[in-house]
Structure 1
Amino acid sequence: MFVRDCMTRSPITITLETPIFQALDIVLKKKVRHLPVLRDGKVVGLVTERGLLQVSPSPATTLSVYELNYVLSKVTVKEALVKNPISVPSDCPIEEAAQIMRDKKIGSLLVWDDEKLVGIVTQTDMVEAMVRLFGLRKAGSRVVVETADRIGVLAEITQVFKEKDINIISLVCLEVDGGRFHLTLRVSMADPAPLVNEIEARGFKIVSVN
């Protein structure tokens, strides 16, 4: 899966002159947390919900309503701007995008194609991508098999599925420690007991069945 498969296309944008209160209104009404900021049609930065709140007057302020409204009308998103936000191309694999977000401790990435902003991918988009990759919206069961790190082991396990004419919805391999892996399979069957028995009969350890 690539970033283009899970990104939010044509994201809502604002300008440097947009007042803070207006940007916060967009965040609340549109249920977004990140807004690209434009100047003369070009992206110059990004603002986040947290950043906007940090530069907004405190709820404990002693300002009157009129003074508060005046301050809010004068403070623009420029005060909360994150300059040079990190971006990726739309054909970036989602695992690479996720690693960038984790390593840089950021909640979103702008998506560019041919020097044009085409989307934004957020942590929420990444979670949705995981749901799709694991096929969690499809009915079925989850079987975790412990395997050794050796050539052909995956073919041996999936051969059981072929013989039983069982469809694999998704398959993920996780290294738990040196030389041991947990193979998580989502399968299109409500009762995987016969499948589990056959896998165990071939010498594999079943870690869990859900």
Structure 2
Amino acid sequence: MLVEEIMNTNVITLTPNATIAEALQLLQNNRIRHIPIINSDKSVIGIVSDRDVRDASPSTFSKDTDNGVLQNEIQSIMSTPVVTVHPLDFVEEIAGIFYDEEFACLPVVSNDKLIGVVTEKDMLYTLIQLTGTNVQSSHIEVKVPHKPGILPEVASIFGKRKTNITSVLVYPYHDDPNYKILVFRIQTMNPLPVIQDIREAGYELMWPNNITGPKL
């Protein structure tokens, strides 16, 4: 899946000469958490978060509140330089940027111009789609040897039952490089027959691991 498939193209922006007060109003009115700061060429030169604005705003509990600080230019608190991504980047790859850098928003840039943003909420929703948890399905985890061809070998068991696979994930088995876990989501509310087929084929079920299917 590509970034362009999940990015939000309706992006609210500000110029560096806008005030902190303007940013505060935009954040509150639009219920957003980040505002990219762009120049006249629509190039991203900074980014401001709701936390940046909140930290720069005067305390509502102080008697000596100076609201004049809200008239300072947004460029005085924006973060720069900005890490950006390209619309043709893979979502799986930019997930690493979110995790490693602890970002909550990444501007999407093409030809040095801002065309969208991707947020951590977008990434979470995409993960839900990729794992198939957004559709009614059954969850099966199978421990298999880490060898070429094992995935189609196990998937063929579902095919014999004409069971539709909605998603497949592969992850390591603890620290043992000789095995891995295949996670299937299948569109059936009665997984017992295919569970029995998997066991009879000699594979170890990690989940469900306490259900025995009928002898058919």
Please say whether Structure 1 and Structure 2 have the same fold, judged by a TM-score greater than 0.5: yes
Q: Using the TM superposition, give the Cα deviation of residue 45 of structure 1 relative to its aligned residue in structure 2, in angstroms.
A: 0.8
User: Which range moves more in the overlay, 86-95 or 148-157?
Assistant: 148-157
Post-superposition Cα deviations, 1:127-183, rounded to whole Å, max 9, x if no partner, equal: 011011112221111111111101221122111111110110000000122222111
SS at match of 2:100: helix
Instruction: Give the equivalent residue in structure 2 for 1:49.
Output: 50
CA shift in 2, pair 1:71/1:104, >3 Å: closer
Q: Which has the higher strand share?
A: 1
Task: Give the letter aligned to residue 46 of structure 1.
Answer: I
CA distance in 1, matches of 2:149, 2:49: 47
Q: Using the TM superposition, give the Cα deviation of residue 16 of structure 1 relative to its aligned residue in structure 2, in angstroms.
A: 1.6
Quote the sequence identity (%): 27
Gaps of 5+ in 2: 210-216
CA distance in 1, matches of 2:29, 2:141: 42
TM superposition outliers: structure 1 runs of 4+ over 3 Å: none
User: Does the CA-based 8 Å contact 2:41-2:113 persist in structure 1?
Assistant: no
CA distance in 1, matches of 2:192, 2:29: 48
RMSD of aligned C-alpha atoms? 1.7
Matches within 5 A, 1:1-210: 1-42=1-42, 43-63=44-64, 67-68=66-67, 70-72=68-70, 74-176=71-173, 177-178=175-176, 179-209=178-208
User: Does the CA-based 8 Å contact 2:168-2:183 persist in structure 1?
Assistant: yes
Post-superposition Cα deviations, 1:13-66, rounded to whole Å, max 9, x if no partner, equal: 1122222232122212222111111222432111111111111112322225xx
* TM-score, normalised via structure 1 length: 0.91
Gaps of 5+ in 1: none
Q: How many matched pairs?
A: 206
SS at match of 1:14: coil
* TM-score, normalised via structure 2 length: 0.89
Task: Give the letter aligned to residue 111 of structure 2.
Answer: D
User: Does the CA-based 8 Å contact 1:141-1:209 persist in structure 2?
Assistant: no
User: Does the CA-based 8 Å contact 2:2-2:91 persist in structure 1?
Assistant: yes
CA distance in 2, matches of 1:87, 1:118: 11
CA shift in 2, pair 1:39/1:209, >3 Å: same
